[in-house]
């Protein structure tokens, strides 16, 4: 996870949200609020540093960050990411939903929320969230969301829509999803539609891009079925 990537700074948001509300209600002093924000950011950084070596420790650090500052977007997103990886989908949904409340136009939050809804089998809601993500002009990795959108549409039986999502993913340059994987899934979608000609074209592309890898091997198996 990058500090200046999807888990960017929280200061501007905090000062207009958490701090302002607390000051208006007269709960604590401005200095105390600033102290909480600093400590929250410290726990967030601590969590990031242990993500790869001790996920449970990171989990606890992110929770502490949120307790100190409920408007810490980065901590909510990081906590939701861990919960999604663990299969704790209801908890992940809550965290990503909070992220969207804090940043309604954040592509990463919308994409992760959509991915979580797919896991929860709430496909129409997932499609709505993912379409919002790919429509954002400043979203850095729309092909990731397009791939998830393809999955949600495919599971609903909308193969034509799933194909369009994959085709849009292939237009993103530079890509953030391996094109061989996208072509493999495009071939699978064409097969489900009964379009063997276009399926063959897509699978040949996948095989040529990854002749010795997993995507290439899967494409080769499907091509054998078309002979």
Query: For 149-174, how does the pLDDT look when each residue is reduced to its tens digit (9 = 90+)?
Result: 999 999 999 999 999 999 999 999 99
Structure tokens that stand for 105 in this block: 């136009």
At residue 6 the predicted structure's pLDDT band, cuts being 50, 70 and 90, is low
At residue 30 the predicted structure's pLDDT band, cuts being 50, 70 and 90, is confident
Q: Burial code of 4-13, b = ≥16 C-beta within 10 A, e = fewer?
A: eebbbebeeb
Query: For 38-64, how does the pLDDT look when each residue is reduced to its tens digit (9 = 90+)?
Result: 989 898 999 999 998 999 999 999 999
For the chain, which residues make up each domain, given as ranges? 1-103
pLDDT at 2: 39
pLDDT at 78: 96
Please say whether the beta carbons of 95 and 63 come within 8 A.
Answer: no
Please say whether the beta carbons of 215 and 222 come within 8 A.
Answer: no
Task: Tell me the mean pLDDT in the region 76-102.
Answer: 97
Bond preceding residue 140 cis, omega within 30 of 0: no
Q: Burial code of 21-41, b = ≥16 C-beta within 10 A, e = fewer?
A: ebeeeeeeeeeebeebbeebb
pLDDT at 63: 95
Task: Tell me the mean pLDDT in the region 199-208.
Answer: 97
Pick the CATH number of 1-103 from 2.40.50.100, 1.25.40.10, 3.20.10.10, 3.40.50.720: 1.25.40.10
d(CA 79, CA 87): 12
* Residue 175, number of CB atoms within 10 A of its CB: 15
pLDDT at 68: 93
Please say whether the beta carbons of 48 and 1 come within 8 A.
Answer: yes
Query: For 93-141, how does the pLDDT look when each residue is reduced to its tens digit (9 = 90+)?
Result: 999 999 999 999 999 999 999 999 999 999 999 999 999 999 999 999 9
Please say whether the beta carbons of 177 and 169 come within 8 A.
Answer: yes
d(CA 89, CA 117): 8
> Does position 37 have pLDDT exceeding 80, yes or no?
yes
Q: Which of 13-17, 113-117, 193-197, 212-216 shows the lowest mean pLDDT across its residues? A: 13-17
d(CA 99, CA 44): 15
**Nearest C-alpha neighbor of 111 from the set 19, 35, 225, 6:** 6
């Amino acid at each position: 996870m990058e500090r200046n990537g999807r888990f960017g700074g929280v200061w501007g948001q905090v000062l207009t949200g958490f701090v302002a509300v607390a000051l208006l209600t007269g709960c604590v002093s401005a200095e105390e609020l600033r102290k909480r924000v600093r400590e929250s950011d410290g726990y967030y950084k601590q969590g990031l540093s242990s993500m790869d070596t001790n996920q449970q420790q990171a989990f606890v650090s992110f929770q502490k960050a949120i307790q100190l500052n409920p408007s810490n977007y980065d901590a909510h997103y990081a906590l939701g990411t861990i919960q999604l990886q663990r299969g704790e989908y209801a908890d992940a949904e809550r965290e990503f939903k909070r992220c969207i409340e804090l940043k309604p136009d954040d592509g990463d939050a919308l994409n992760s929320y959509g991915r979580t809804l797919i896991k929860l089998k709430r496909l129409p809601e997932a499609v709505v969230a993912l379409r919002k993500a790919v429509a954002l002009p400043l979203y850095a990795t729309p092909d990731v969301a397009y791939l998830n959108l393809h999955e949600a549409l495919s599971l609903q039986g909308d193969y034509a829509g799933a194909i369009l999502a994959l085709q849009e993913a292939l237009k993103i340059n530079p890509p953030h999803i391996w094109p061989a994987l996208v072509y493999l899934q495009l071939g699978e979608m064409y097969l489900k539609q009964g379009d063997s000609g276009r399926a063959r074209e897509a699978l040949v592309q996948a095989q040529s891009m990854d002749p010795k890898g997993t995507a290439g091997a899967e494409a080769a198996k499907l091509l054998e079925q078309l002979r």
